Structure 1
Amino acid sequence: MDYRPIPEDHDEAVHRLLSYAFQPERGPDPDDEDHERPEEYHRRGLYDVDPDTPTDDPDTPTADDLVVTCGYYDFTARIRDEFHPVGGVSAVASPPESRRRGYVADLLANLHREFREEEIGFAVLWPFEYAFYRRFGYAMTNTSVTTSVPPAELGDVVPDPAGTFRRLDAGDYAELDTVHRAWATEALGLRRTEGWWRYRTFQGWRKDPYVYGWADRTGTLRGYLCYTVDEDGDDKRMDVSELAAVDDEARGHLLRFCRDHDSQVDTVRLRGKAGETRLLQTLSDPRAVDVEVRPGPMARIVDLETVVDALSFPDDATGSVALAVRDDHCDWNDGTFELTVGSDGATCLRSDADADATLDIGALSQLALGSLSVDELERNGDLTVESAAARETLAALFPTEAVYLREGF
């Protein structure tokens, strides 16, 4: 097998493969074009190359040799209040004739090695099946909340008209980005590029969203929302994928924009981070709201030593703990490591010491990101701690944080 970047002249083969993997009802030969992607997107493929087969160029496999494909985004994401490189794994797919042969495992092994060489400490993805990616060390980072409400019910929580709404396009990305940076402050919040705004925010897989912004009386943009209007049986639904505001005033006016669709849609659906239940607390009839909690993306530490070297720990947290880490996929993370945090920084080195705590790489990833606490991981059976002192040290080093990856990819 040959792991390598996918060249442009294999575009058609990749598009056929991805379309059939994620939209099988369209068949293996779609007649549309693939979407344009941001500059931070990179494609990788695994080619089944037979060295005994004659070819004009033995170093260049053909599109027919492609057995599994993926892409990754070289993201910059907030982790522990600082920005770090993160690999966003996407579009992992193989045709039916190539499945259940270990090709995806081989592809991911190569991709994770590439991340390690590039000093990318974390990988994130949206799974088609959670159990599948747990096999490769991934664990869920966060949940999300979807709130559905009849637009007229929002009348109780919106302010009187003020400021102005205006339709925005990709050329306005710099203004949008200023709002986004003030709004997306949770762990795994991305620092978006111009390409991401143009080709991912303003373009959808099936339908491009509408984007409107709210500006105060000085003309300063202070909030925006991205939405589509879709058929929901006999009803129409305003599906808001992002409602970004720098403060409560801007949020109120964006909700006013949604309320003013009451003559056009039957339901407004808002997506938000876990715990976002403010409408339940403020509407006159909270029973008018349906709230659905959904599982979110998954992440894993790619290289433990790289992560610890770059990670910020609480200023008042110091100590040392021996971690027995299980990683069946990346052997460089498998073993016992002495994690030491002091006033001069942190180190994570292999050790022969007896373990103070035992966990797998997925649980350690949740701990490092702040998704779950030491107590939660213990209750879930994903962490074993040998002493109260070790538990106290781990809890001090890895406090929980709000974690929310809102972008799909």
Structure 2
Amino acid sequence: MHLRPLPEEHRETYREFLDYAFRPENGPDWPDERLPDPEGYRPRGFYDAPRDAPVGDLDAASLRAVCAFYDFTARVRGEWHPLPGVSAVASPPEARRRGHIAAMLDDLLAEFRDTGRYLSALWPFKYAFYRRFGWATANNYAKTTVPPDELAAVAADPDGEFVRLDADDWARVEGVYAAAATADLAVNRSEGWIRHRLFRGWDDDPFVYGWERGGDLRGYVVYDVTGDWESRTLTVAELVAVDADARAQLLRFLRDHDSQVDEVVLSSEHASTRLIDDLTDPRAATVEIKPGPMVRIVDVSAALEAVSLPADAVCDLVLAVEDDRCDWNDGPFGLAVADGEASVEPVDDDIAPDATVEIGALSQLLVGARSVEALARTEHLAVADGRAADALDAVFSERDLYLREGF
């Protein structure tokens, strides 16, 4: 069995796998209309066929599992790096519990390594499932539910104007996003991504409104409304503003739906957002902190040497990495850091390590999701002494993270 780029003629089987995995409630009669693939979307098929079989000899009946990835570029420690977003992992019920998904993910990681994609991310259906394969949680996010009239406390006085936006406004929207999305793991969005993922929905297209002053777009909100006359909910998929004033204007826009909806749900905001603190009645709102996407180092040497580290950090340690899925990562490495750059070399197994780290924990350290101190209290990181702990803490400083893309 092996993983291959999916031929166009196998797309229908691929879609059947995905529909059964993610939308079985729709039954076997799939709708004919399909959303176009966003730019950079790479579908893959895992075939029960010889690895060297020509593409033309592959049969859709030999598909055992499928997956895809989005060829993202994202900010990691302040600079842009490849960050493929793994998605659409599925197999039909008759092919499950046979190790196909595990073997497919192994092949996908090998493909990433061979093509210079040394980091990866995904949104899990179950965190424990992907934790077994080396991914670990990157950031959390906040979901806030509030009656619209309560937003009066955080809404600005009327200023500027609200405008309806469509896909042809993608460049204006991208400009707002680029100015506002300054946290690490923010994705460098393409025109295709904005057109086909921001302005398109899986079932119905969302509303997209912007707030501008003097013709300058300063923020936008993406939302839909569900329910009926008796009860409606306005759910915000994304609210992005270049400054606090623009955000307050967008909250005014949401407040002004108080005659139409019973509640406003800000479904995915930065976990540090504390809208509840500024409400007149904080008890009127409910804030849920939810786990977000997961990250994984694909190639330890390449990733550590590619990512810029704190310029004042100095380190010369032996780091034993535990990775039971990628043998090229599994073992001890000499890690030397100076002037913001790392040098990583495999070392002999008989050298006593200064620290032992599981690949998911190392992934969290690299992107700045968790501190050395926090991980050392878990089974995923063991540090020999205080000197090593201090050195690692200087190298792997915590960062502000927010990967907001759903994929």
Structure-to-structure mapping, 1:223-238, within 5 angstroms: 223-231=219-227, 234-238=230-234
Are 2:312 and 2:340, in contact at CA under 8 Å, matched by a contact in 1? no
Q: Which string of whole-angstrom CA distances, capped at 9 and with x for unpartnered residues, describes residues 25-58 of structure 1?
A: 223441333321112001111111279xxx9x78
Whether 1:281 aligns to 2:277 is: yes
Between Structure 1 and Structure 2, how many residues are aligned?
Answer: 403
- Given the alignment, which residue of 192, 200, 204 partners 2:201? 204
Q: 2: CA distance between counterparts of 1:327 and 1:50?
A: 27
Q: CA deviation at 1:90?
A: 0.4
Q: Is the 8 A contact 2:308 2:340 kept in 1?
A: no
Matched with 2:380 is: 382
- Code of the residue aligned with 1:397 in structure 2: it is V
3-state SS of 2:187 partner: coil
Assess if the C-alpha contact under 8 Å between 1:16 and 1:29 holds in 2.
Answer: no
Q: 1:283 to 1:58 in 2, by over 3 A?
A: closer
Counterpart secondary structure, 1:331: coil
CA distance in 2, matches of 1:207, 1:361: 39
TM-score (norm 2): 0.96
Q: TM-score, structure 1 length as denominator? A: 0.95
Which deviations, in whole Å up to 9, do the C-alpha atoms of 1:291-349 show, x marking residues without a partner?
Answer: 01111111100001111121101111112121111000011000001111113831111
Residue in 2 that maps onto 1:30? 30
User: Which secondary structure state, in structure 2, belongs to the residue aligned with residue 333 of structure 1?
Assistant: coil
Report the equivalent of 1:370. 368
Counterpart mapping for 1:51-130 below 5 A: 60-130=57-127
Give 1:186 shift. Answer: 1.2
Match of 1:252 in 2: 248
- The runs of at least 4 aligned residues of structure 1 exceeding 6 Å deviation read none
Return closer, same or farther for 1:160/1:368 CA change in 2, 3 Å cut-off: same
Residue identity matched to 2:382 = T
CA distance in 2, matches of 1:22, 1:147: 25
List alignment gaps of at least 5 residues for structure 1. Answer: none
Question: 1:239 and 2:213 equivalent?
Answer: no
> What do the CA deviations read for 1:109-168 (whole angstroms, capped 9, x no partner)?
111111111111111111111111111111111111101111111111211111011000
Structure 1 counterpart SS, 2:129: helix
Residues in 1 aligned to 2:161 and 2:269: alpha-carbon distance in whole angstroms: 24
State the SS of the aligned residue for 1:403.
coil
What is the letter of the counterpart of residue 382 of structure 1?
Answer: H
Shift of 1:232: 8.4
C-alpha distance in 1 between matches for 2:27 and 2:147:
37
**RMSD between aligned residues:** 1.7
Q: 1:384 to 1:47 in 2, by over 3 A?
A: same
The aligned amino acid for 1:126 is W
Quote the Cα distance in structure 2 between the aligned partners of 1:287 and 1:39: 43
Q: Tell me the distance in 2 between the aligned counterparts of 1:58 and 1:24.
A: 30
**Identity over aligned residues, as a percent?**
51
Contact 2:2–2:50 (Cα < 8 Å) also in 1? no
| Matching of residue 295 in structure 1 with residue 291 in structure 2 | yes
Given the superposition, is the C-alpha separation of residues 344 and 78 from structure 1 closer, same or farther in structure 2, using an over 3 Å criterion?
A: closer
> Residues of 1 paired with 2:90 and 2:179: CA distance?
36
Q: Distance in 1 between matches of 2:346 and 2:216?
A: 53
Q: What is the alpha-carbon distance in structure 2 between the residues aligned to residue 61 and residue 302 of structure 1?
A: 28
1:353-368 equivalent positions in 2, closer than 5 A: 353-368=351-366
Once the two structures are TM-superposed, the CA of residue 380 in structure 1 deviates from its matched residue by 2.8
| Partners of 2:331 and 2:190 in 1: CA distance | 37
Q: What is the letter of the counterpart of residue 239 of structure 2? A: L
